[in-house]
Chains A and B, each alone.
Chain A
Amino acid sequence: MSTAEHDFDDSPYDLLAADTDEGHRWAFGTGFTDPLEGIDTSVPEGLDPGALVRYCLALGDDALIYSHRLQQWVAALPELEEETAVANIALDLLGQARLLLARAGGIVGQTEDQLAFFRSEHEFRNVRLAEHADRDFAELVVRLLLFSTWRLSLFSSLSSCADPVLAAIAAKGVNELAYHRDYAASWVVRLGDGTPLSHAKTQAALDALWPLAGELLRPDPDAPADVFDHSVFDHGAFDAVIDSVLATATLDRPTSAPLAPVAGKTGRDGVHTEAMGYILAELQSVARAHPDATW
């Protein structure tokens, strides 16, 4: 490639190789900058800061835990193209998690790292769907379809909500989630409307995951009314997209009941499935063993 026509004072690659940030690396520990650096993060008057924190934690935890589950697939996917796709989706969700945890943390005086690595299981507010371990590729794409359809619909509503920071994070996420949903939907159609074997596996994945989808549509009691009026969330739009994909994929919409709350509590209340402990052990153990480590 030709660089002659560029007006850089040195080769762009040399410039990148130069250590311009005092040895800090993009990893846990030092070197992290606040992803909301320079943004006005004051909470608008009239908004309950506590409720806003809990709501941002819920959406941030969904993204963090879901991203972790997708990262576990990397290097185990059937094709290179799926590797890059799943890794990219995981990265987008991790980015959303960083912004949302930084939004919550900024209000309570904690960093995104403290929230991600030093909270206990019962303090995580993610839905139980996010922590599910996909048993095969069919579960991966069906789960992603349910999650990204819901999240895209929600983020579209939130991009005009009363908190300008959350609104900006949501508006940014909309473009990303639209790509995630298209990716998942196209695979669900290919597999569902594919061979008898792929159809059977995809239907089985859908049947297995359906009970976990119910929690997505439960109203979050912590959602501040003025941030997110539940009447804004369009359940009909969620159903319409899911029904259209399932019909094209020749899959039957399950009729099974949502996974029941435990003593009235779900993931949003900090009650998780057995899988969650294993996720947090992997996610948090290094940070907890070396809380002051720097790279």
Chain B
Amino acid sequence: MVAATRSPAYDVAAGTPDPEIPTLTIEDLGILRSVDYSSRDGVVVTITPTYSGCPAMREIAADVTARLNRAGFERVTVATQLAPPWSTDWITPEGKRKLAAVGIAPPPEARASAAPRHAGPIPLTLGRRPPSPGCPRCGSLDTQLTAQFSATACKSLHRCNACGEPFEAVKPI
């Protein structure tokens, strides 16, 4: 998570729910990069996409603007920032707690190579079963991956062998 300066406008923007997982805010997900003020653009909210094709970006921009307008900030500009690319490591501890509370397994720390991320070739996970996260319902670690892709770009699908329930997980990137 990028350290952001807190301000009244930041607090309003930070409370914007994510369109796909609305119990989490964009601050919880680490999508909110900064909230600044300039005399030319008014309140400038900088957000980052989780995935290149994330269709929620537009909804988020509209929601952030509407919330700020309602809170009395008339001029709002929403800017995008691509670099450095979003990582699930930016999901806050509070965000991870909320994910688990709604039955979505939070992501483990993304691949250890944090800073100079892909300096070398990216390893192929061929034949190596990717680790499946613990079951958010019963806590069992005996779970299996059923699909690397799920209802949204950022999640994978799993099944708990202990309680038999399927569940989603936010996949580490």
- Chain A contact residues, CB within 8 Å of chain B: 1-3, 6-9, 12-13, 15-16, 18, 20-21, 26, 31, 33, 35-39, 81, 84-85, 87-89, 91-96, 98-99, 152-153, 156, 159, 164-165, 167-169, 171-176, 178-179, 181-183, 185-186, 189, 234, 237, 240-241, 244-245, 248
User: Is there contact, CB below 8 Å, between B125 and A33?
Assistant: no
A-B contact pairs, 24 of them (CB 8 A): A2-B101, A3-B23, A8-B17, A20-B65, A35-B57, A38-B79, A39-B81, A84-B149, A85-B147, A87-B149, A91-B53, A92-B51, A95-B49, A95-B53, A153-B121, A156-B118, A172-B83, A174-B85, A174-B117, A182-B125, A185-B126, A186-B126, A234-B121, A240-B121
User: Is there contact, CB below 8 Å, between B82 and A39?
Assistant: yes
Q: Which residue of B lies closest to A22 (CB)?
A: B62
Question: Which residues of the other chain, B, contact A26 by a CB distance below 8 angstroms?
Answer: 55, 58
Question: Which residues of the other chain, A, contact B157 by a CB distance below 8 angstroms?
Answer: 81, 84
How far, in whole Å, are A31 and B59 apart by their CA atoms in the complex? 11
The answer, yes or no, to whether B153 is at the interface (CB within 8 Å) is yes
User: Is there contact, CB below 8 Å, between A20 and B62?
Assistant: yes
Q: Which residue of A lies closest to B82 (CB)?
A: A168
User: Is there contact, CB below 8 Å, between B82 and A93?
Assistant: no
User: Is there contact, CB below 8 Å, between B52 and A99?
Assistant: yes
Known: A182-B124, A248-B127; 6 extra A-B contacts, CB below 8 A, are A21-B62, A81-B146, A88-B150, A92-B52, A167-B83, A176-B51
Size of interface on B: residues with Cβ below 8 Å to A: 53
User: Is there contact, CB below 8 Å, between A171 and B84?
Assistant: yes
How far, in whole Å, are A15 and B70 apart by their CA atoms in the complex? 13
User: Is there contact, CB below 8 Å, between A244 and B124?
Assistant: yes
Question: Which residues of the other chain, B, contact A248 by a CB distance below 8 angstroms?
Answer: 126-127
User: Is there contact, CB below 8 Å, between A245 and B121?
Assistant: no
Q: Which residue of A lies closest to B55 (CB)?
A: A26
The answer, yes or no, to whether B173 is at the interface (CB within 8 Å) is yes
Question: Which residues of the other chain, A, contact B9 by a CB distance below 8 angstroms?
Answer: none
Given contacts A8-B17, A95-B51, contact A38 B149 (CB under 8 A): no
User: Is there contact, CB below 8 Å, between B66 and A20?
Assistant: yes
Q: Which residue of B lies closest to A38 (CB)?
A: B79
Question: Which residues of the other chain, A, contact B82 by a CB distance below 8 angstroms?
Answer: 36, 39, 99, 165, 168-169, 171-172
Top 9 nearest A-B pairs (CB, nearest first) are A38-B79, A95-B53, A95-B52, A12-B22, A168-B83, A81-B147, A21-B62, A168-B82, A20-B66
